[in-house]
Amino acid sequence: MPEIVCYGCSARLSAQEFLDGSSAWWERVDCLQFRCCRCAATFEVRIESGQVTFGYTYAAGGPHFAGMVPISVPEIGARPLEQGLQVTFGPVTKLVERLPQSDRAT
Ligand SMILES: [Zn+2]
């Protein structure tokens, strides 16, 4: 089974655990919220094909995502859809709903 190591506690999370903890796709900066079910730490993560980047967002004339730790995850991929970000991690797929555009201040 594919898995990913939590940047906060180094626990090995299954695809299901990782996707269960993922929510709130912020389309404008292309990241989403991730809360680890083991250590309860919250991160902002960017998911790209084959890679997950743990980081944070900041405002500098607009919101930006600052990636800190890129992790190679060959089994992962993300596809933007009208309803949200469809994340596929190995055999598991989840539609992560997008944040409302006005939901977060810059
Ligand atoms: Zn953790």
Domain count, the chain: 1
The Å distance, Cα 20 to ligand 1 centre, comes to 13
**DSSP of 39-98:** T--EEEEEEETTEEEEEEEEESSSEEEEEEEEEE-TTEEEEE-SSEEEEEETTEEEEEEB
Q: What is the DSSP letter of 36?
A: -
Residue 26 lies in a domain: yes
Residue 24 backbone class (left: φ over 0; alpha: ψ -120 to 50; beta: rest): left
pTM over the 0.75 mark: yes
Q: What is the pLDDT along the chain (106 residues), one digit of tens a residue?
A: 899 999 999 999 999 999 999 999 999 999 999 999 999 999 999 999 999 999 999 999 999 999 999 999 999 999 999 999 999 999 999 999 998 765 555 5
Residue 11 lies in a domain: yes
Residue 81 lies in a domain: yes
The Å distance, Cα 18 to ligand 1 centre, comes to 10
Cβ neighbours for 61, distance < 8 A, ≥ 6 positions apart: none
Domain membership of residue 24 as a residue range: 3-97
The Å distance, Cα 37 to ligand 1 centre, comes to 7
Name the token pair of 30.
Answer: 């292309």
The Å distance, Cα 34 to ligand 1 centre, comes to 10
The Å distance, Cα 41 to ligand 1 centre, comes to 6
